[in-house]
Amino acid sequence: MVNRDEAHEDPGRAASRLTGRPVTGAPTAPGSPTEVTLDGGARVMVKRGDAPGAVRAEVAGLRWLAAADAVRVPAVLGHDERWMVTERVPTGRPDPGAALRFGRALAALHASGAPHLGAAPPDGPEDAFIGLAPMRNAPGTDWPRWYAEHRVLPYVRGAVDRGTLRQHEAAVFERVCTRLPELAGPAEPPARLHGDLWNGNVLWGVDGEVRLIDPAAHGGHRETDLAMLELFGCPHLDRVLAGYEEAAPLAPGRRERVGLHQLFPLLVHAVLFGRGYAEQALTVARDALAA
């Protein structure tokens, strides 16, 4: 349980309490994540999670990704149920060589696997988050069925409830889900996914190495991470994909399946941010039905 003092503390106090080091510099305006300077000059990032289980899910995800020894992530320096302190990553310009290495490392991360579809990271909650949206890590064995039940239809219902999607439009996604077994391509073993792999969660370090932040980590299909990276744009994406294919070739027909995997993040965004993303998801769904 979080006590009253901890519930109202600022990022600087949280960083000091969780790292055991005095803070010499912290912003006066609230924000999350926030950069804080510890005694000795080390700069760290402090993030507050107000939803129950949000911090625990993110910490577990970062540690699960780190355990694969593939893609690098910032180290967790301290956390409780409300606050998390991680290393700060000095960032530079995206680089083609770093992109190629990132693609290879992402392939290795996925290949490190998960116990099953929908697997939560060790010590992570079943009821987790993708951004600010709830995300349930329910187990499954058949990807088309699991993806429909736990990554598409819950957000269709959420968008309808919010008025972002009209009731008759939900039927478009239901038809796609019915056809997923024939559209999904060959079965693959569960991959260890970052789960929220848009460009804002890809940090191009000044040392020439990529770090990933803010995971919604779970066991899933590896093409979902790649499709999300493509949906919101990524510098040198061609090099990322080249490195990935070099390390772990993708099944034929991946290009035709990109839209299917993008339905998940598009519908999450429709729930969180409105009609524009709902219309984009509808276009993708209709294109899949027309294929």
Torsion angle, CA of 105/107/111/117, rounded to 10 degrees?
120
Which of 196, 236, 205 has its CA nearest to residue 97? 236
Q: Residue holding tokens 């320096």? A: 77
Q: How far apart are CA 152 and CA 284, in angstroms?
A: 13
218-229 burial code (b ≥16 CB/10 A, e <16): bbbbbbbbbbbb
- Selected catalytic residue, list 95, 196, 214, 225: 196
- The strand pairing partners of 129, in sequence order, are 134
Burial of 80 (0-12, 13-18, 19+ CB in 10 A): middle
39 is catalytic: no
Q: Tokens representing 9?
A: 């503390």
**Catalytic residue annotation:** 196
